[in-house]
């Protein structure tokens, strides 16, 4: 029997629908859209981003299938961070993720409507990202990485008990670093230590700032400052040349030459951040999600770098290490 044009059209439509049903690609309209802005690229923040991506994938949000994922780096430039924030707001994603305080502040200034999840932010309250950590309200929540400053100073005292003048390198324009500096100034006198400051406004100024500490301090401490971390190798070189031990506020800097780092695994920070993002993609209001913190600490050591800087790591410290860089 001959088919009518109408019947032919219906068969064609049915066949097309069957093909679409077999297509593993999720229609673009059904995808969730996550836009991620990272202030600067260095191992800790890169590990955070990786943790976020893998947590999303594990939860079923896979890039190119159920997820549209876009990322940009500000390369350590606040103006670029603001431009990225404005761009992302115009694209209206389901969630904007901001790694590090400057990027989070830029995004929070750009929108009060789109959900924002920050990560690796030292002090969300001082950064004006949240007024209450348990119930942040508004459109912002995330994961904080406030460093255990007291334990860092205890570690310095245990490894180099003669170190009483501690040089601290930081960017005065980073809110997170000011918070850490205040904590250092509060904790140092309890251990008979004094803090000597040196600032760098950008990565190109880090070497000069580090050199300015030579002859003035017994050790250098690098907090989780994005600017200093982006040029850490310059600090390490100064420490090696001047026989000044360089301590870090994060563990990723140890593989780059710092003698010790007691901190969080930033990949785990990313995984925790990813869990928050998934909650929001599933419909939870960000203002009702408490700001999370990381409790588990890891101790990383670099004996070879320590020796180059004139320090021998005590056996008791080596035995406590979670990772020793060979």
Cα distance between residue 179 and residue 268, in whole Å: 23
Model confidence pLDDT, tens digit, residues 195-217: 999 999 999 999 999 999 999 99
Q: Which domain holds residue 166?
A: 149-263+298-324
Q: Is 218 a member of any domain?
A: yes
Domain annotation covers residue 7: no
For residue 36, the domain's CATH number is 3.40.50.2300
Decide if 20 is inside a domain.
no
Does residue 256 sit in the same domain as residue 269? no
Q: Is the pLDDT of residue 6 over 90?
A: no
Q: What is the pLDDT of residues 88-138, one digit of tens each?
A: 999 999 999 999 999 999 999 999 999 999 999 999 999 999 999 999 989
Same domain for 33 and 161, yes or no, is: no
Nearest to 102 by CA among 130, 74, 125: 74
Report H helices in the chain: 5-22, 43-58, 78-91, 101-110, 149-159, 175-187, 206-211, 226-230, 232-242, 252-255, 266-281, 303-308, 315-320
| Sheet containing 260-263, strands listed edge to edge, beginning at the edge strand earlier in sequence | 194-199, 165-170, 219-222, 246-248, 260-263, 298-301, 323-324
Instruction: Report pTM.
Output: 0.78
Mark whether 209 and 113 lie in a shared domain: no
The pLDDT mean for the chain works out to: 91
Q: What is the pLDDT of residue 285?
A: 96
Tell me: pLDDT of 163 over 50: yes
How confident is the model over 239-284, as pLDDT tens digits?
999 999 999 999 999 999 999 999 988 999 999 999 999 999 999 9
β pairing state of 116-121 and 298-301: unpaired
Q: Is the pLDDT of residue 19 over 60?
A: no
- Over residues 56-76, the pLDDT tens digits come to 999 999 999 999 999 999 999
Identify the residue with better confidence: 1 or 308.
308
Q: How many domains does the chain contain in total?
A: 2
**Does the pLDDT of residue 1 top 60, yes or no?**
no
Quote the pLDDT of residue 264.
87
Residue 48: closest CA among 170, 178, 140, 145:
145
């Amino acid at each position: 029997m001959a088919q009518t044009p109408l019947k032919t059209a219906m068969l064609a439509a049915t066949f097309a629908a069957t093909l679409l049903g077999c297509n593993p690609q999720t229609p673009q309209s059904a995808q969730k859209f996550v836009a991620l802005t990272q202030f600067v690229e260095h191992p800790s923040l890169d590990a955070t981003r990786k943790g976020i991506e893998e947590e999303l994938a594990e939860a079923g949000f896979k890039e190119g299938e159920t997820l549209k994922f876009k990322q940009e780096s500000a390369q350590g430039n606040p103006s670029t961070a603001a431009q990225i924030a404005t761009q992302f707001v115009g694209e209206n994603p389901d969630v904007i993720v901001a790694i590090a305080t400057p990027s989070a502040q830029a995004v929070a200034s750009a929108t009060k409507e789109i959900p924002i999840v920050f990560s690796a932010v030292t002090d969300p309250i001082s950064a004006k990202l949240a007024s209450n950590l348990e119930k942040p309200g508004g459109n912002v929540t995330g994961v904080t990485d406030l460093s255990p400053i007291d334990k860092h100073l205890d570690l310095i005292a245990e490894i180099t008990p003669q170190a009483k003048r501690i040089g601290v390198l930081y960017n005065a324009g980073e809110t997170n670093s000011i918070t850490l500096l205040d904590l250092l100034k509060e904790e140092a006198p309890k251990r008979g230590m004094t803090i000597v400051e040196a600032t760098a406004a950008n990565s190109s100024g880090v070497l000069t700032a580090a050199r300015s500490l030579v002859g003035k301090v017994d050790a250098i401490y690098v907090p989780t400052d994005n600017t200093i971390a982006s040029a850490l190798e310059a600090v390490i070189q100064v420490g090696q040349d001047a026989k000044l031990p360089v301590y870090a506020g994060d563990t990723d800097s140890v593989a780059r030459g710092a003698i010790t780092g007691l901190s969080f695994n930033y990949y785990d920070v990313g995984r925790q951040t990813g869990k928050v993002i998934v909650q929001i993609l599933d419909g939870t209001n960000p203002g009702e999600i408490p700001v999370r913190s990381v409790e588990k600490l890891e101790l990383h050591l670099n004996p070879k770098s320590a020796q180059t800087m004139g320090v021998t790591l005590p056996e008791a410290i080596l035995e406590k290490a979670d990772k020793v860089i060979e």
